Structure 1
Amino acid sequence: MSRTVRIVAMILALPLLMPATIRAEIDYLKQIKPILLERCYACHGVLKQEGNLRLDTAIFGQKGGDSGPAWKAGKPDASLLLERITEAEEADRMPPEGEPLKPQEIALIRDWIAQGAKAPADEKPETDPKQHWAFQPPVRPAIPTVNDPRWQGNPIDALIAAQREARGLVPQPASNRHLWIRRVTLDLIGLPPTDAEITTFVNDSSPNAYEKVVDRLLASPHYGERWGRHWMDIWRFSDWWGLGAEVRNSHKHMHHYRDWIIESLNADVGYDEMLRQMLAADELHPTDSQKLRATGYLVRNYFLFNRTSWMDETVEHTSKAMLGLTMNCSKCHDHKYDPLSQVEYYRMRAIFEPYQVRMDLLPGVTDPEQNALPRAFDCNLDEKTYLHIRGDDRNPDKSKPLSPGIPSILQKSELAFSPVKLPAAAVNPGLRPEIVQAYRDAANAKISRQREAQAVAKKALAEILAKAPAKPADAPLSPQSPPMKSNDPARADSLKPTLVEDFASAKPERWMPKSGSWKIANGRLTQTEASAMASIMRLNSPVPQDFEATLTYVPTGGETYKSVGLAFDAGESDRHTLVYVSGYAADPKVQVAPNPGGGYRYPAEGKSPVKVELNQPHTLKVQVRNSLVNVWFDGEFKLAYQLPDARSFGSIDLVTYDATAEFRRLELKPLTPSIALRPAGVEPNAASAPIATRESAELALKVADAELAAAEAELAAIEAAHAADLAQANEPGTAATKAKIIAAARAQAQQEQALAEVETAKAAHAVAISAGNAKVDAQKKLQAAMGKRDAATKRLQSPGESYRSIVGSRKSKESNVESDASRNRPFPATSSGRRSAFATWLTSRQNPLAARVAVNHLWSRHFGKPLVATVFDFGRRGAAPTHPELLDWLAVEFMESGWSMKHLHKLMVLSQTYRLSSSNAKSAAVNLQQDAENRHYWRSNPIRMESQVVRDSLLLLAGELDRTMGGPSIPVSNTQSKRRSLYFFHSHNEHQKFLSLFDDASVLDCYRRTESIVPQQALALANSEIALETAEKIAAKIAKDHPQADGDAWLTIAFRTVLGSPPNDAERAYVRATLPKLEAAAREQNRANPQSAARVSIIHALLNHNDFVTIR
């Protein structure tokens, strides 16, 4: 080795031989100040100075506080700061919260002090938080004069151009008309423009051509759907989720809130009014059910198991969505960066403390499980709010109940909260005429049904007496009677079917998929997914109380159990009964499986072996009368089973489990009393089939008589209760009112006695038609029913003065342990007034944040990036606005226009800034050098379509989009639905599969959608059923609308249809060369129409083009 090489090696190795304690000079601004900012400023900065110590400048630290200087330059071992951050005792160590400083951070501070604690002499302390830009009222700035007159007409353009000119940036030219109309149409209604709309605009030479397009789009009802989905993101819309049928988060029927958002946006209801309704419609509009829907915003935060979690989400997301503040950061301690104290966090919680959730009945509905309005109301007016020490709800400081309030930095004076007296119809919703009428209608419908049932029972008895006059009147039902086969003449008097479904066509009004993958085509209802979860298709048509259902189906596959059948008494709750046929090789069977709520039971006496063949048609017949079930399979009687619990009448579901199947026919008819069922507990042999007897028919008539009497008693009780409710609301305490209360109590006692008579009559009938062990059980139930009847009769003699009011609303559980007595408390006659006072302040000019936060969201969704990047944090740690004057101009304009979103939309999309090309081709070099991120809008920002826009665009282009608006959420299993995507059920647990691939919204937190490009998206557009079908249908639609289009003409139409603009020269040349090759390939594959197949392939390729999923 030469000497020179050895010298070089020694020089290079020198740093390794130096003592470890010697380090490079520490940079205070880059290495020390960030540590102090993150870990020390919260207690020793401009917001707070514990021990009179500030550390936001090195000079302050050198000066020190009550205990002396924080450090001594050059003397780390004598520095108090190092002593405290290295303290072994946790109680004395700094910082007091969070993890200790990391060893490398401590080492940096030690070395910095050892090197003399050097810092810039001109270091500035933190500014006064009160002077933070976001806490100042927005003021309309003067509009600057710019060099290019084209940018002077719209204040947005002038404010943008002024900053751009100051930096020497040169704007790109405007987009061509094809791109602009696609951009604005997707932006405003979330759907691509039609070819006709593009052509009309491109050829419109009038000076207001652009404005006409914008006005048309803002007037479209689809505007509310498009922007409703944006605000649903921000306001965290979610359908309910939980475990089984138990609602644990959000609430059922949240579609009412979603529809309110859409309708309000279409009506251009002011943003301020929308916020007021969302926060306090129950106080501001207590009897307006249309506006009460808005409180779904508060309902969405519902959480069954922990009130603190519920309140935390309410405070956090109200602050983020409406104020742009991270109040949640002050739950455990004072906010580290903003002037928001822990006490103020809990004072804000106190605003919401009294509210709970209830389900108000809607016109025509008496069961809140079927449909109801989930809404907020103040329930617990005396509920106290306490500060949770260190944020731990197990450790509240009960010595200091906190009053409601808002952060002091935002208020000029203390808010005044005044209780709100509520009208009677809000306190007792059962007084509402439409609710009372719904109960009347339901009772009258029941009376009509029972009269029909009574007439049928009388006819059946008369016919039996006419056919067998010599038979003794008290002849028992004999298990040795002749058999009755499925084609027995005794069935000739059965009623005509109420439903014959041959699945010849899709009937969305009749069938609702609840889970699984279903298709209706070619006279088949097909379930194609052999899932480990039940696949369910629900019948929406009425089902007779006693019925016979005959199902013809073909099992086509499955892994193990291959179970197919039907469930009856199905509804929103878990309670129903499933009758299914299992093709399980080790135990093929037909099984009756009751689910009383909480899980299926598989009784041995409800099971019978059968032979099941795949790909062969089978027939399952189920007969149900009261609680007796008879089951036939392929024309043979298989079992009779007595349900152990009373039925809760409902709908019918077609069900598969671990099976694929074709359903070919379902026939449903009433089961008349003249059709005798086999008794439970008797073996299914030829000698066990009963015939209809006089005794059974007489007992069936007694059941019908009792049910009619009970229905009439129910109507009388409704009328009496309503009269008493009105009297108590209008004339409380009078003798007349007391008389009506007593009358209502008596009417309800009479109803209870009538219902007890029904149960006794049913039990007596069950005894008559049972045999063996089932008869013994039926006799026990008869004795119990008679005891209840006698008790009801006794109560009728002294009904008292207590009655049940008409139920117009049902309070939701406050927690999983709340008692029924608590839930059934009368609603308070007053509301706290806290939320309405807060909402009024929030939307006043005194609040500097609400308008700024809103316009920032609007801007972001039109221009691809927000003016304030931290859209939910306008605090001191959030991003500063890129264009503060523009933000304030928009905020003031927004408020002074009546908080009209449509007004701002129009200003934004008619601006020259919005019209710019998104391409950076041929841009001035200075643009990329000075502003590669396009912070100053020298071009438009291309925006990736969200998931809903991708799917909806595919459906529209295929001519398949169902434009029906509103209504209950569509189950995610309904993959055949053509409705707009925002109507799919959307919760933390359930997501529509296709939508989840394209940046769908998280229901937990989605203030700004993420934009991702992942392989699964390309695969979905290349291989998904919706993409493949769309390509075929677009090609067919072009062929139909433009039959003469060929060559270049067809190519132009195809590009314009899918991408919104005609092909450029390179694209045109490439497709010209490719089409003949595709046609040749189609011929080799013996495709019926090679030209059509080639064109479908081109369109499919265009759907996979980046320009399809990008808003340029």
Structure 2
Amino acid sequence: MNGLNKRVICVLLLVSGWGICTPAWANPANRRAFTRYFGNYLSKNLNSCGVCHVGAHAEGAESLDDFPHNPFGTQLRLEGEKLSEANRDPEIALRLKLLADQDADGDGFSNLQEILVGTAPGDKTKYPDAAAVQKLKTLTAEFSEYQNRYAWKPFKPVKRPEVPLIKDADWARNPIDHFIAAGHEQKGLKRAGEAAASILLRRVSLDLIGLNPTPEEIRAFLKESETNPRAYEEAVDRLLAHPAYGERWGRHWMDVWRYSDWAGYKEALRVSQRHIWHWRDWIIESLNADKGYDQMVVEMLAADELKPDDWDTLRATGFLARNYHAVRDQWMDDVVKHTSQAFLGITVGCAKCHDHMYDPIKQDEYYQMRAVFETYHVRTDRVEGVLDTSENGIPRAYDKSVTAKTWFFEKGDERRPVKDKSIPPGVPKFLGGAYEVQPVSLPLVASQPARRDFVKQDFLAQMRGAMEQAKQPEQRLAAESALAVLEAQFAIEEMEAAGDKKSDAWKTAAKELVQLQREAALKDAQWKLMSAVEKQEQAKQTLAKAEKGKKKSAISKAKQQLKKADQAHKAAEKSLKKAEEAAQAKVTTKYTPRKQPTYPKQSSGRRLAFARWLTDKNNPLTARVAMNHIWLRHFGQPIVPTVNEFGGNGREPTHPALLDWLAAELMKRNWSMKEMHRLIVTSATYRMAGTGSKANSKIDPDNLYLWKKSARRMEGEIVRDNLLSIPGRLDPQLGGPDISNEQAQDSRRKSIYLRHAHEKLVEFVQIFDGPSVSECYMRETSVQPHQALALANSKLSFLASEALTAKIEQQTTGDVDAFIEEAFLSIISRLPNAEEKKLCREFLFDGTEGGQGTPSQDQFQKLITVLFNHNDFVTIR
């Protein structure tokens, strides 16, 4: 880098307050760590490079000599060097703690005291005045208490924190409640009581399977709860075993993992892949089977290296297939960016053009992570019963080249690769762990998938079908001959796979195959010539008929057809002559191999090594990020507010100790998500009511400390699903190809099976803040008029109201009060109160003579429509 470039970069860094270019310990990540260490106790005037450095010249700085450390900065640098020499982490927080009581500038005040009152600890001309000194005792005590809080260290391995002791231990049902209650006690919050049984059942049903409980289930649960203290826990177990669990939580994880159906036009392939729904089905099946989160991550990133001959598991690599982009650099950018955010909760992509501004990620490390994925590409393997992969097939990852090189791009510009030396695969060093690559030898069926037994059987079935459909004897003879060739090809492939390539038996088989291929070519040529002659005769007859009719356009068209038929006839004669000559030639062992796709016999092992590094229990982020996502979807708010940014630019967690405990518990329980769901939904915290005191609202208006259970709006998918399920119209079928998004108002399948791609979205779902195709780590929730319009006027709502009205009328046989009660139980899972029942009766009898008689079916249906538009229908309380 020349001097001018250095000056420009350093000036930019200084102006923006990032630090300087070259000296050890001075970088944007350290500055961010400094500000996070002091939090709100750091005054604005000390949030600058001048805390540690003496200002540079106006034209910038090229070295530490031009932008030197002041005494405080020197202390920090030397302390960092000492820690490194002692094989200890030179993190800023530790250095600041060790130097807190020292006086760097010799002005009689410690470093900590000066920082707390807002004077520079490295400038002896600036020190606390008398007024500031008066505040020091209080400030120091407050900061000490602040520092004694549970330290949030997302980049350190997870350590299980002690479960806090609380005053009201009888309230707690499991350790989660201890962490939450500790926050209540600290903030002086009085928590809400337990929710009513009907609310609780609806809440947990919607959370775990996305469907309202039926009136029968509600009545049974209320009755069971009177005598069985474990009625709720048993309900939770039933819900976790329900097939809809995988669909409900599959959609959540599909948000995080950026599921998208194929978005191509005609034959074009823009993003994702055809038949990517196989990955969606793998997600649902894996969740229902309670496959460990760690195993799911490994399979999504490297199933082709872990289980290369297991086609069910290979569906998992749809995660990588989905990232496909026609522009390779964009493809690689996306896979690095979204893999790091989805599983690690860090923005590695920010280091493509320069060292990360907030986290200790070097620019080189971005390209090392890209190199992990550089070798992979995407292909589509056949599925049983379908030979044409355009109709169906499994889109999957594989290593197209084990030697693909990654180049460093100067300033992140793809047009400026530095090809002096390729970048090896690797992981960000600050996260620790071992990244050890071992190449993977692949079985024959992975490198030559057409050799799989079911593929061969499908080819044989296709040939036999051609024989059965043959209309002419010559056509049948050609098909029979082709079948004999195929069977012989399969036989010799088996011999060669067993290592037999030059034996007498192989030579005999090879010669027999050559003879069969010549015979097949001859019979095929004979059949094609006969067919060509027939078409030629037909063309002549067509022309004669056209000439008789004397219509010029018909004559012209007929002449063109005859010309094509004549050409086909000549080509067929030529092919037959060639086949006859070949049949007379000496028979050799040079047979024609079966045409089939062939792929590398080895995979690099890069992705498998990365997946194992990622899911190692010492990886500091994977379990934390997973549990943060799970917690978000149970409580409507995550513990770490920035779910895909756990780094320096993210926000700190509300309950860091709880998140660490949950992460440790997830790993202890073999990464079982079902067990973690059970733990969360059976906690007293989850079971709280949604109302609380006004005093609490003043202390914690956003309910960050969970003194009640916050209500939240249903996602668009389960609004739609419940419009189908409640009246009994839902088709419970699991899996299968994506259904056109244009069929959303008519299809009875769940929303998860409707097409979700760019320009191919379900409008009803999107109205209720459906997921973005590009990325959706955390959904937004809006309140807009067209949401009410969709519930009131859509075809889906009309059909739901019509079907539910008929269903309840049949059950209640004219009993108006029973109809009202059943309607409330069906739609909002509770009985109406007296005022609600009175209003409903008035509504139903409106227009009848004297408010008597029997309400019309239309009026019953209108009441159902009103209840579907009730706020409690779309709200999870």
**Which TM-score band applies after superposition, normalised by the shorter structure?**
0.7 to 0.9
Q: Which of the numbers 439, 443, 447 marks the counterpart of 2:459?
A: 439
**Cα pair 1:42 1:336 within 8 Å, conserved:** no
**Corresponding position: 1:319 with 2:340:** yes
Question: Against the structure 1 CA distance between its residues 916 and 1079, is the aligned structure 2 distance closer, same or farther, given a 3 Å change threshold?
Answer: farther
Partner in structure 1 of residue 468 of structure 2: 448
Render the CA deviation track for 1:631-676: whole Å, top value 9, x for unaligned: xxxxxxxxxxxxxxxxxxxxxxxxxxxxxxxxxxxxxxxxxxxxxx
Are the counterparts in 2 of residues 1079 and 1093 from structure 1 also a CA contact under 8 Å? no
For residues 856-901 of structure 1, what are the alpha-carbon distances to aligned partners after superposition, in whole Å with 9 as ceiling and x for unaligned?
0000000010001111111111111110010000000000101000
Kindly provide the amino acid, as one letter, of the partner of residue 617 in structure 2.
R
Over residues 931-967 of structure 1, what are the superposed CA-to-partner deviations in whole Å (9 max), with x where a residue is unaligned? 1011000111212111110111000112110001111
- Letter of the 2:263 partner, please give it: W
SS in 2 for 1:908: helix
Counterpart of 2:314, as a letter, is L
Q: Give the structure 1 partner of residue 531 of structure 2.
A: 762
Change (3 A) 1:1090 1:794: farther
- C-alpha root-mean-square deviation of aligned residues, in Å? 3.0
- Greater Cα radius of gyration, structure 1 or 2: 1
Q: Indicate conservation of the 8 Å contact 2:199/2:829, yes or no.
A: yes
Q: Report if the CA contact (8 A) 2:18-2:27 is conserved.
A: no
Please show how residues 90-169 of structure 1 align to structure 2 within 5 Å: 120-121=118-119, 133-169=153-189
What are the ranges of 5 or more consecutive residues in structure 1 without an aligned counterpart?
1-33, 73-117, 454-703, 809-823
**Counterpart contact for 1:710–1:755, Cα < 8 Å:** yes
What is the total number of aligned residue pairs between the two structures? 752
Q: Does 1:1066 align with 2:840?
A: no
The question of 1:1031 aligning with 2:775 is answered no
Paired with 2:252 and 2:177, the residues of 1 have a C-alpha distance of 25
Structure 1 distance, partners of 2:591, 2:772, is 46
1:997 aligned to 2:762? no
- Aligned runs of 1:723-742 on 2, under 5 Å? 723-735=491-503, 736-737=505-506, 739-741=508-510
SS of equivalent residue, structure 1 residue 375:
strand
Read off the aligned partner of 1:765 and give its amino acid letter.
E
**Matched residue of 1:973: which SS?**
helix
CA offsets 1:680-708 (integer angstroms, 9 cap, x no match) = xxxxxxxxxxxxxxxxxxxxxxxx23321
Q: CA deviation at 1:406?
A: 0.5
- Indicate which of 346, 351, 365 corresponds to 2:367: 346
Q: 2:575 aligns with which of 769, 788, 808?
A: 788
- CA–CA distance in 1 between the matches of 2:219 and 2:20? 60
1:193 has 2:213 as partner = yes
**Which aligned pairs between 1:554-953 and structure 2 lie closer than 5 A?**
704-735=472-503, 736-737=505-506, 739-741=508-510, 743-744=512-513, 747-770=516-539, 771-772=542-543, 773=559, 774-795=561-582, 797=585, 805-806=593-594, 824=597, 826-919=598-691, 923-953=692-722
Q: Are residues 201 and 714 of structure 1, via their aligned partners in 2, closer, same or farther at CA, if it must alter by over 3 Å? A: same
3-state SS, counterpart of residue 742 of structure 2: coil
The CA deviation at 1:794 is: 4.2
Q: 1:746 to 1:1041 in 2, by over 3 A?
A: farther
Indicate if the aligned counterparts of 2:282 and 2:316 stay in contact, CA closer than 8 A: yes
Paired amino acid for 2:736:
G
CA distance in 1, matches of 2:586, 2:777: 61
1:962 partner letter: D
- Aligned pairs for 1:157-236 (under 5 A) are 157-204=177-224, 205=226, 206-236=228-258
- Amino acid in structure 1 at the alignment position of 2:798: L
Query: TM (normalized to structure 1)?
Result: 0.64
Q: TM-score, normalised by structure 2?
A: 0.81
State the partner residue of 1:278.
Answer: 300
Alignment partner of 1:58 is 2:50: yes
In 1, Cα distance between equivalents of 2:25 and 2:401: 35
Indicate the larger mover: 936-945 or 421-430.
421-430
1:1013 is matched with 783
**C-alpha deviation, 1:787, in angstroms:** 2.5
SS in 2 for 1:243: coil
Of residues 420, 426, 430 in structure 2, which corresponds to 1:409?
430
1:709 counterpart letter in structure 2: L
Percent of matched pairs sharing the same residue: 40
> Which residue pairs with 1:1095 in the alignment?
860
Q: Specify the code of the residue in structure 2 equivalent to 1:967.
A: G
| Alignment match, 2:549 | none
Q: Per-residue CA shift, 1:12-58, capped at 9, x if unaligned?
A: xxxxxxxxxxxxxxxxxxxxxx99695624848986459x9998442
Alignment deviations for residues 1075-1102 of structure 1 (CA, whole Å, 9 cap, x no partner): 221556999xxxx984322121111001
Q: Which residue type is aligned with residue 498 of structure 2?
A: N
Please state how far the C-alpha of 1:790 moved relative to its aligned partner.
Answer: 3.1
Q: Which residue of 1 aligns with 2:285?
A: 263
Q: CA deviation at 1:745?
A: 5.1
Matches within 5 A, 1:509-528: none
User: Conserved in 2, the CA contact under 8 Å of 1:749 and 1:795?
Assistant: yes
Letter paired with 2:18: C
Does the C-alpha gap of structure 1 residues 333 and 35 become closer, same or farther in structure 2, counting only changes over 3 Å?
A: closer
In structure 2, relative to structure 1, the CA distance for the partners of 1:1067 and 1:706 (3 Å cut) is same
Considering fraction of residues, name the structure with more helix: 2
Instruction: Please state how far the C-alpha of 1:798 moved relative to its aligned partner.
Output: 7.1
| 1:241 partner SS | coil
Structure 1 residues 930 and 757: alpha-carbon distance in aligned structure 2, compared to 1, 3 A threshold = farther
Contact residue 720 and residue 765 of structure 2 kept, 8 A: yes
Q: CA deviation at 1:749?
A: 5.0
Could you tell me how far 1:426 is from its partner in structure 2?
A: 1.6
Provide the rounded CA distance (Å) in 2 between the counterparts of 1:364 and 1:119. Answer: 75
Please state how far the C-alpha of 1:989 moved relative to its aligned partner.
Answer: 2.6
Structure 1 residue 248, shift from structure 2 partner: 2.3
Q: Is the 8 A contact 1:146 1:158 kept in 2?
A: yes
Q: What is the CA–CA distance in structure 1 between the aligned matches of 2:462 and 2:641, rounded to whole Å?
A: 55
> Deviation digits for residues 83-136 of structure 1, max 9, x if unmatched?
xxxxxxxxxxxxxxxxxxxxxxxxxxxxxxxxxxx99216799x9xxx971111
Q: Is the 8 A contact 2:332 2:373 kept in 1?
A: yes
- Cα pair distance change 1:994/1:866, threshold 3 Å: same
Distance 1:70 1:775, change over 3 A: same
Provide closer, same or farther for how the CA distance between residues 798 and 900 of structure 1 changes in structure 2, counting only shifts above 3 A: farther
Q: Distance in 2 between matches of 1:849 and 1:800?
A: 63
Structure 2 match to 1:1108: 873
**Cα 1:214–1:788 shift into 2, 3 Å:** same
Structure 1 position 376 matched with structure 2 position 397: yes
1:59 Cα offset (Å)? 3.1
Q: Higher strand fraction: Structure 1 or Structure 2? A: 1
Taking a change above 3 Å as real, the CA distance of residues 325 and 218 of structure 1, as seen in their structure-2 partners, is same
Q: Give the C-alpha shift of residue 252 in structure 1.
A: 1.0
Task: Give the residue type in structure 2 aligned to 1:168.
Answer: G
Distance 1:1092-1:402 versus aligned 2 partners, 3 A rule:
same
How far is the alpha carbon of 1:367 from its aligned partner?
1.6
The 8 Å contact of residues 985 and 991 in structure 1, kept in 2 or not, is answered as yes
Name the stretch that deviates more: 294-303 or 1069-1078. Answer: 1069-1078
CA contact (8 A) 2:845 2:854 kept: no
Distance 1:929 1:119 in 2: 29
Verify the 8 A CA contact 1:285 1:292 in the aligned structure 2: yes
SS of aligned partner of 2:808: helix
Q: Per the alignment, do residues 998 and 786 of structure 1 end up closer, same or farther by CA in structure 2, a change over 3 Å counting?
A: farther
Change over 3 Å in CA distance of 1:738–1:950 after alignment to 2: farther
Cα contact 1:430–1:806 (8 A) shared by 2: no
